[in-house]
């Protein structure tokens, strides 16, 4: 069989990803595809048993499988305990991020007191405020605003139209997607005589290393202390994180979740989409919160928690709702019966 001259040898992918190679390591791979849509030059992966039957029919040049599935195909393969993570590493090798030439675009506005590393890239229309610091190889893309006294670490990417309010800190290798706003005022209001008095928000937003922040996500700065997002936290799109929150390292939060102020979420937590978490709570390390759950009390024991109703067919939901509406009267009837029984026994 004549091999293509393009792509990367499977052997090299195995070495770069630190996984076992089985079969012909000279097969060249130039793209990623699903098992059912793969063609020559593609590598596909199997991470769910429900798709195991596709191994027999896939046209991929190589596959990524677990040791348990390795015998199910004669194709060249990468064998790993975590095919999905290996797929992610292979995809990063095959499709690296585009690089940007260092320098400041002529239309960018950079304050005279700002420090911009020569290796950094400042895109069209970007604004860098007074005394801000932009580290080596950071990319500040078009229309992004970095406020005064902000610090952006090495190899960061701030996509177009990100806004960092003054004194925000962003750690190395962090990626912030378009429309995200970091360091805006927290929702701090004191009520007096039927009116609201704004509470000055004096803290910062401090983002760790290797964090990813999704599009249109907002992270408020602290009222007195700092709002802190620790290393390797992954935030989806359209999340709201209130002032003085603390999110532990390696935690992942899905889209549209809302976290009220002064809540501390531990390390290695997973929070589903549209979950709503009240303020001033503590959530321990390793907690899993299901999508659309409402959390009103602290969680002190790690585990999986769900607080939302699953979707039901309309007719079934209406019957359930009708039963729920009758529940109070049913409880009162049971209590009356219990009282009558107790009086009869006495």
Using CA atoms, how far apart are residues 331 and 342, in angstroms rounded to an integer?
Answer: 16
Kind of pairing, strands 77-79 and 103-104? Answer: unpaired
Active site residue 54: no
In order along its 346 residues, the chain shows pLDDT tens digits of 344 558 999 999 999 999 999 999 999 999 999 999 999 999 999 988 888 999 999 999 999 999 999 999 999 999 999 999 999 999 999 999 888 899 999 999 999 999 999 999 999 999 999 999 999 999 999 999 999 999 999 999 999 999 999 999 999 999 999 999 999 999 999 999 999 999 999 999 999 999 999 999 999 999 999 999 999 999 999 999 999 999 999 999 999 999 999 999 999 999 999 999 999 999 999 999 999 999 999 999 999 999 887 888 999 999 999 998 999 899 999 999 998 888 777 6
Using CA atoms, how far apart are residues 307 and 309, in angstroms rounded to an integer?
Answer: 7
68 backbone dihedrals φ, ψ, rounded to 5°: -65, -25
Kind of pairing, strands 218-220 and 181-184? Answer: parallel
- Sorted by sequence, the CB contacts under 8 Å of residue 339 that are 6+ apart come out as none
Q: Tell the CATH topology of 103-305.
A: UDP N-Acetylglucosamine Acyltransferase; domain 1 (2.160.10)
**Residue 5: predicted pLDDT:** 57
**Closest by CA position to 168, among listed 186, 189, 147:** 147
What architecture is the 8-94 domain classified under in CATH? 3-Layer(aba) Sandwich (3.40)
Using CA atoms, how far apart are residues 81 and 125, in angstroms rounded to an integer?
Answer: 46
Please give the angle made by the CA atoms of 102, 105 and 107, to the nearest 5 degrees: 165
**Residue 1: predicted pLDDT:** 36
Sheet holding 252-253, edge to edge: 103-104, 121-122, 139-140, 157-158, 175-176, 212-213, 234-235, 252-253, 270-271, 288-289, 304-305
- The residue annotated as part of the active site, out of 243, 246, 250, 280, is 243
**Residue 99: predicted pLDDT:** 85
Query: Rounded to two decimals, what is the model's pTM?
Result: 0.90
């Amino acid at each position: 069989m004549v091999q293509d001259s393009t792509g990367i040898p499977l052997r090299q992918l195995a070495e770069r990803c630190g996984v076992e190679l089985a079969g012909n390591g000279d097969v060249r791979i130039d793209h990623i595809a699903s098992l059912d849509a793969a063609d020559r030059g593609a590598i596909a992966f199997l991470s769910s048993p429900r798709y195991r039957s596709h191994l027999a029919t896939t046209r991929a040049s190589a596959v990524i499988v677990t040791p348990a599935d390795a015998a199910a195909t004669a194709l060249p393969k990468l064998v790993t305990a975590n095919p999905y993570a290996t797929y992610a590493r292979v995809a990063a090798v095959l499709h690296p991020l585009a690089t940007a030439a260092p320098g400041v675009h002529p239309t960018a506005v950079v304050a005279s007191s700002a420090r911009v590393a020569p290796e950094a890239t400042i895109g069209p229309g970007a604004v860098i405020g007074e005394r801000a610091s932009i580290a080596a190889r950071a990319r500040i893309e078009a229309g992004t605003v970095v406020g005064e006294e902000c610090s952006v670490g090495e190899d960061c990417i701030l996509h177009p139209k990100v806004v960092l309010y003054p004194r925000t800190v962003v750690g190395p290798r962090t990626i912030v997607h378009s429309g995200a706003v970091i360091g805006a005022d927290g929702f701090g209001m004191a009520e007096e005589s039927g009116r609201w008095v704004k509470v000055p928000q004096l803290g910062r937003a401090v983002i760790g290393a290797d964090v990813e922040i999704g599009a249109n996500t907002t992270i408020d700065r602290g009222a007195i202390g700092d709002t802190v997002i620790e290393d390797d936290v992954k935030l989806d799109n359209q999340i709201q994180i209130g002032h003085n929150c603390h999110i532990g390292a390696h935690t992942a939060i899905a889209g549209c979740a809302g976290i009220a102020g002064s809540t501390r979420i531990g390390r290695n937590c997973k929070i589903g989409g549209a979950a709503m978490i009240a303020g001033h709570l503590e959530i321990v390390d390793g907690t899993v919160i299901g999508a659309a759950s409402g959390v009103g009390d602290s969680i002190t024991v790690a585990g999986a928690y769900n607080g939302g109703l699953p979707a039901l067919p309309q007719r079934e939901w209406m019957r359930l709702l009708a039963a729920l509406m009758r529940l109070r009267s049913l409880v009162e009837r049971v209590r009356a019966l219990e009282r009558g029984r107790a009086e009869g026994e006495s």
